[in-house]
Structure 1
Amino acid sequence: MHATQILDYIPAHQPVFRKLNEEWIMQFFTMEAPDYQMLDEPQRYILEPGGAILMAEYQGALVGTCALLNEGHGVFELAKMAVSPAVQGLGIGYTLGKAAVVKARELGARQVELLSNSRLVPALALYRKLGFRHVPVPASPYQRTDVKMVLDM
């Protein structure tokens, strides 16, 4: 049994960060301008504004990722969460999600929010398991957004 290790992002992870996210986005939707910005330049759009990226390693391979976007005033957005289809169902997403909540606390979060889509049933179940609750959906830069959830810290 191999344990999942959660790693802090380093620039060498960018190609995998992009590939994992592009894979799930293209399976269900189309890539949009904010996707390209964050996936092509995570340092500029995620890390420099005070966010974080986590990577999941399983059996020596990077198989999952998620980001925390600093929205200001103690609010972070859980975003760009992806797990390789080859290892889905092994609890890697839950391990990543729990690590993201811990990281958000370390960064001073009072609330973590996320934007998603009602078609992503397993992801929504995972978010509920992590303690997120549904709230009204605001205007979003993503056409695919029809779900918003929050977790009060």
Structure 2
Amino acid sequence: MSNFRIVKWDEDYRDDFIDLSLEWLVKYNVMEKKDMEMLLHPVKEIIRDGGMIFFALDGDDVIGTISMIKHSDETYEIAKLGVTEEYQGQAIGRFLIEHAIDWAKAKQASTIILYTIGILEAAVGLYESYGFKQVELDEHHYDETDMKMELVL
């Protein structure tokens, strides 16, 4: 993995963003309308309002992605974290999360939130290892989620 790097959104990665996200959304049967809006219109739904999408690359191959959705100047949401199955278990998710946290800190954010489902035990454990704590689920959650987590920076 010597050629591993993280890059910001580029239109060239649009199909990779869709494919990586669909890989786990379909696998766990958690696709909903809000997901499709983000996948089909990532600039409008994520980037235009101050968020960002990052990609993990091994050479020229896109192997993972993570999105940061801006809720306010202080709060960002981690969304659409996904690593292609071939690269799972190789700390790619960790690199993406660390990059997203560092990016939010550079933006002077005070809180990062995320919504997930309890059956994604590996993901929940990964988030907890970075200090994310489960908090009360609010009205902004996705239909298919049953858990909200928060990291105070």
Structure 1-normalised TM-score? Answer: 0.95
Q: Which amino acid aligns with 1:47?
A: I
Deviates more, 1:78-87 or 1:132-141: 132-141
- 1:96 and 2:96 equivalent? yes
| 4+ long deviations beyond 4 Å | none
In the TM superposition, residue 147 of structure 1 has moved relative to its aligned partner by: 0.8
Distance in 2, Cα, partners of 1:140 & 1:112: 14
List gaps (5 residues or longer) in structure 2.
none
Shift of 1:73: 3.9
Shift of 1:141: 4.7
Maintained 8 Å contact 2:32/2:144: no
Which amino acid is 2:37 matched to? Answer: Q
Q: Distance in 1 between matches of 2:140 and 2:75?
A: 16
**Distance of 1:102 and 1:22 partners within structure 2:** 26
**Unaligned stretches of 5+ residues in structure 1:** none
- Tell me if structure 1 keeps the 8 A contact 2:113–2:151: yes
SS in 2 for 1:101: helix
1:119 aligned to 2:119? yes
8 Å contact from structure 2 (residues 115, 141) kept in 1: no
Q: What corresponds to 2:19 in structure 1?
A: 19
Aligned-pair RMSD on alpha carbons? 1.2
Matched residue count: 153
Partner of 1:2: 2
Separation in 1 of the partners of 2:102 and 2:81? 15
| One-letter code aligned to 1:9 | W
- Offset of residue 3 of structure 1: 4.9
Change (3 A) 1:30 1:125: closer
Identity of aligned residues (%): 29
Matched position secondary structure for 1:142: coil
| Deviation of 1:140 (Å) | 3.8
What is the one-letter code of the residue matched to 2:150?
V
Tell me the distance in 2 between the aligned counterparts of 1:117 and 1:149. Answer: 10
**C-alpha distance after superposition, 1:60-114 (max 9, x if no partner):** 3101000000001410000011000111000000010000000111222110000
Q: Paired residue for 1:128?
A: 128
